[in-house]
Structure 1
Amino acid sequence: MTLDDTEMLVTRHGVQLHVRPARDEDEPALATFFANVSPQDLRFRFLTSVRAVSHERLSGMIQANDATSESLIAFGSDGSVLAAAMLAGDNRKDTAEAAIAIRHDMKAQGIGWTLLDHLVGHAKRMGYRTIEALEDRDNRSAITIEREMGFEPHPVDGDPMLVRLTRNIA
């Protein structure tokens, strides 16, 4: 991986993120990344108990780059994966869903905020009217960031453990 083919984002804490769409050759690096994500954060990202992220799930994330969705990887300056982000939209260009996972040792450095802001801008450029995130109610840090960024919380019918946060971006 070269950093030349990435877009540079800098967090408010000065962390440099080299971001680009995921590729087939990224699967081993993504597997290593998810092995360094805490079990709780895996549950928050996939909304179910996951011990390890399977080859099938990694392949699905990598192959998600198309007209309605994008799977992004944020690399550190040393080439290691610091975070993974997904934007998945509907075919009507109405709503796009954002999901982010951050390596445990890189939390509280502005990475989530910076990547979510990047996904909001990307969803706007793609023509979506709304961006949303589906969160476990225990994921207080993500919910706090999303609310600070103008997302509004809504209950999820039939599942009291989840909250849908939405933001109009039209």
Structure 2
Amino acid sequence: MNKPIRRSDRQHTIKLPDGELFQLRYVRPDDGARLEEMFSHASPEDIHFRCLGAVHDFAGKMAEKFTSLDPETEAAIIATTLPESGPEEIFGIVHIAQEHADSETAEYDIMVRSDFKAHGLGYQLMTEILLCARRRGLKAVTGTISADNFKMLQMVAEHGFRSRRTEDNAVEVRVDFAELDARLEAELSGS
């Protein structure tokens, strides 16, 4: 059985390449209104990329989903403004979900506010959720990406994911931690 996530774990500050500071922490049940506000900034294109289609009441449904996670099978990390900078705002979220508590694989999903793209926040969130998956004892993380979401495909490739295009204009991606470790070790040893 994998280790459940305690929501108080791993709260820390990150610095983006442009100098912007954010706090990364696990989602709490009281984050609903802040999550709904973040999701209300989503462009139609981002909703399409996130859901591979349109969703009625996207902001409300996503906020409800992420504030009622099962800690045995799910974890979600958010990027928030620092507490000293005023009312807390959420700028991004990343989530993993296992099919059941004994699964060795989890599926990820991620979203950064549409008005705050290209700052490196998504990259930092992806790195953090992969570390979370490793701490849980998972062996792999998977995802499904729209084939025209080039920035996401590039980001997951940079994190070591392998990709396979499907017939329905989607790309299935997967990172196996043992395989990734072996590739990194080979690169470091010059093999």
TM range (shorter): 0.7 to 0.9
Shift of 1:30: 0.9
- Contact kept? 1:74, 1:81, Cα under 8 Å: yes
Residue number in structure 2 paired with 1:126: 136
2:112 pairs with 1:107: no
Match of 1:88 among 76, 97, 100: 97
1:56 shift after superposition: 4.2
How far does residue 93 in structure 1 lie from its aligned partner after superposition?
Answer: 3.0
3-state secondary structure, aligned to 1:119 = helix
Equivalenced residues, count: 164
Other-structure match for 2:11: 6
The CA distance in 2 between the partners of 1:54 and 1:73, in whole Å, is 15
Alpha-carbon distance in 2 for matches of 1:164, 1:141: 15
Contact 1:93 1:127 in 2 (8 A): no
Query: Once the 2 structures are TM-superposed, how far is the Cα of residue 84 of structure 1 from its aligned partner?
Result: 1.4
Deviation per CA, 1:88-129: give whole Å up to 9, x if none.
123233211111111122110111111101111110110111
Aligned partner of 2:148 in structure 1 is 138
**In the TM superposition, what is the alpha-carbon distance from 1:62 to its structure 2 partner?**
1.2
User: What is the TM-score normalised by the length of structure 1?
Assistant: 0.87
Q: Does the 8 Å contact 1:69/1:89 carry over to 2? A: yes
Query: What's the RMSD between the two structures over aligned residues?
Result: 1.9
Check the 8 A contact 2:24/2:78 in 1, yes or no. yes
Other structure's SS at 2:79 match: strand
SS in 2 for 1:98: strand
The letter for the 2-side match of 1:161 is N
1:32 maps to which of 12, 21, 37: 37
Q: Give the CA deviation at 1:38.
A: 1.1
Percent identity of paired positions between Structure 1 and Structure 2: 23
Structure 1 unaligned segments of length 5 or more: list them.
Answer: none
Look up the match of 1:160. 168
Q: Does 1:22 align with 2:27?
A: yes
Unaligned 5+ residue runs, structure 2? 1-9, 179-191
**What code does the residue aligned with 2:35 have?**
L
Residues 59-98 of structure 1 mapped to structure 2, 5 A cutoff = 59-77=64-82, 78=85, 79-91=88-100, 92-98=102-108
Give the stretch that moved more between structures: 87-96 or 111-120. 87-96
Distance 1:16 1:54, change over 3 A: closer
Give structure 1 regions of 4+ aligned residues with deviation exceeding 3 angstroms: 54-57
Report the TM-score when normalising by structure 2. Answer: 0.78
Q: How many Å apart are 1:51 and its aligned residue?
A: 5.2
